[in-house]
Structure 1
Amino acid sequence: MGMLREQGTTIGRFKVSRLMDELGLICKQPGNHAYKRATVERIDIPNVLNREFDVAAPNQVWCGDITYLWAQGRWHYLAVVLDLFTRRVVGWSFSTSPDADLVVKALDMAFEQRGRPTDLMFHSDQGGQYVSRKFRQRLWRYRIKQSMSRRGNCWDNSPMERLFRSLKTEWVPSTGYMSAGEAHRDISHYLMQRYNWIRPHQFNNGVAPAVAEEKLNAVSGIS
């Protein structure tokens, strides 16, 4: 779609999908993606959060996770950081590699954009990226307490599961993205604009996360 737009042709993701269906075309997909869930239980990192997803103020509990998307003929990986106060996206990163750098960059973005908060907890699953030395050192540098879901229990991080489900079912083209640049721009728009500021969220009684946070902050006097 990016190439067509550059040539002056206006076309959307749904039209592309429809035309491909009519022509019997499919988007070539690979075998397995590289992101693997944990196979070894990390009992040294407790589940401090323990599904207590309702928090009283912003920048108290963040959670993170990774998903995978098809772009430019290969898998790409998306790491997102969510503030549990109103389910607002506060950081994200996009890469061809599901490594520690991916989750560190998402955390760095969140930490800077949120004003380097203190007394913070970060919750995730037991993926290797989140138990890596590099990520745990970054948490230590920021003085962030770490919490981890128990292995194999998706409900321990359900707010992230809901976000990724919304992204993939409502926004990402079924055929994937033609280029990594297009994917980056489109995902950025969804997470930081549509999801945060426009899309009604059931958790906030139909109010978008960033709007709900501003309203709650105004009521409580948080600047």
Structure 2
Amino acid sequence: MVKIFDSNQPRQEKIKKIYNRVKADKNLRLTQVLKEFSIPISTFYYELKKEDFDKKNEEIISQMKLIFDENKARYGKRRIKAELNNRGYKIGLKKVRRLMEKFNLKAICPRRKYKSYKVTVGKIADNILNRNFVATQPNQKWTTDVTEFSGSFGKAYLSPILDMFNGEVIAWDLSTSANIQQIWKMLQKAFFKHKNLEGLIFHSDQGWQYKHRQFSEKLKQKGIIQSMSRKGNCLDNSVIESFFGTLKRECFYGREKEFLTFKQLHKAIANYIYYYNHKRIKDKIKWMSPIKFRETFISNYN
């Protein structure tokens, strides 16, 4: 028998060399070679299968780390599993969790909300939405609110509009003060992008901005129906509350010291909102990004 390997080599390396040699030499019989080196055939196949499994695991782990890094530690086990499935890897949630724990892949882990209940003047609209957050098409239901950021830059206020159909950020404005001009800018951006909004339900809390007479008039001019949460019921506007929590957890908390100026914060939020709209996948919209889900809907609808 021709020497195939050193007797001191690890068992898996021996079996690998036997496999390659038998495959290359048609005159060699596997059972004969294994008998010569006192290796049970069950051990041979077990080690081969284990090597294939290890290789496959290495590839999955590599992809998992890549997904985790690409999304800047914003993806937890469910999103990583979904993205791996999207990339053609069949893997269960338990295994993803186990591998994430093994390789210390910890998603960014919620603090206090800015309140805009300052004055009692203005008209309060009915709660038409009444926690029915389901929208069957784009521009059917929008929601808005204001959230506060604090840091070396002072204070900053983000005012976005979300479409409840796909969670897409329709328009937004970041300002150093929570004033009515900020709301006008946000509305102007939204109305510039979307012309026909007749019948749209626009939901908010009872913040003073939304009770402002001119705000209500601007909505009426577009045929938009205004809806307001009951005071003190954050669940009535949980869609935007959830977005604020996600944005701060994935973009701001733990990184406060990086934002020395308002300009730096503005750039980070702009980048995050682009990422959120175009790349961040969600289970509620079939593991697509908001933009992809809207485009798919429009394509199928037409």
Normalised-by-shorter TM-score class: 0.7 to 0.9
Q: For structure 1, list consecutive stretches of 5 or more residues without a partner in the other structure.
A: 1-13, 15-31
Q: For structure 2, list consecutive stretches of 5 or more residues without a partner in the other structure.
A: 1-71, 73-111
2:291 is aligned to: 210
Q: Percent identity?
A: 33
Which whole-Å CA distance do the structure 1 matches of 2:258 and 2:213 have between them? Answer: 33
Whose helix fraction is larger, Structure 1's or Structure 2's? 2
User: Cα 1:174–1:46, aligned 2, differ >3 Å: closer, same or farther?
Assistant: same
1:120 is aligned to: 200
Which whole-Å CA distance do the structure 2 matches of 1:125 and 1:177 have between them? Answer: 29
Which whole-Å CA distance do the structure 1 matches of 2:258 and 2:134 have between them? Answer: 34
Report the Cα offset of residue 143 of structure 1: 2.3
The answer (yes or no) to whether the contact 2:119–2:208 under 8 Å persists in 1 is: no
| Matched residue type, 1:147 | S
The answer (yes or no) to whether the contact 2:152–2:261 under 8 Å persists in 1 is: yes
Which whole-Å CA distance do the structure 1 matches of 2:191 and 2:238 have between them? Answer: 22
| Matched residue type, 1:184 | H
Greater Rg, structure 1 or structure 2?
Answer: 2
Equivalent of 1:107 in 187, 194, 205:
187
User: Cα 1:75–1:210, aligned 2, differ >3 Å: closer, same or farther?
Assistant: same
2:135 is aligned to: 55
| Matched residue type, 1:204 | I
The answer (yes or no) to whether the contact 1:71–1:180 under 8 Å persists in 2 is: no
| Matched residue type, 2:275 | R
| Matched residue type, 1:70 | S
1:149 is aligned to: 229
Given the alignment of the two structures, is residue 90 of structure 1 paired with residue 90 of structure 2, yes or no?
A: no
Count matched residues: 190
2:267 is aligned to: 185
| Matched residue type, 1:98 | A
Report the Cα offset of residue 176 of structure 1: 6.0
Structure 1 stretch displaced more, 33-42 or 63-72? 33-42
Given the alignment of the two structures, is residue 68 of structure 1 paired with residue 148 of structure 2, yes or no?
A: yes
Structure 1 stretch displaced more, 158-167 or 194-203? 194-203
* RMSD between superposed Cα atoms in Å: 2.4
| Matched residue type, 2:261 | S
The answer (yes or no) to whether the contact 2:197–2:223 under 8 Å persists in 1 is: no
Report the Cα offset of residue 116 of structure 1: 4.4
Deviating above 4 A after TM superposition, structure 1's stretches of 4 or more consecutive aligned residues are 32-35, 38-44
Equivalent of 2:251 in 166, 171, 174:
171
Report the Cα offset of residue 101 of structure 1: 1.7
Which whole-Å CA distance do the structure 2 matches of 1:202 and 1:93 have between them? Answer: 27
Equivalent of 2:282 in 201, 209, 213:
201
Whose strand fraction is larger, Structure 1's or Structure 2's? 1
The higher relative CO (CA closer than 8 Å, separation ≥ 6) is in: 1
TM-score by length of 1: 0.77
Report the Cα offset of residue 117 of structure 1: 2.8
Report the Cα offset of residue 210 of structure 1: 0.9
1:219 is aligned to: 300
User: Cα 1:33–1:86, aligned 2, differ >3 Å: closer, same or farther?
Assistant: closer
1:37 is aligned to: 117
| Matched residue type, 1:59 | N
Report the Cα offset of residue 72 of structure 1: 4.7
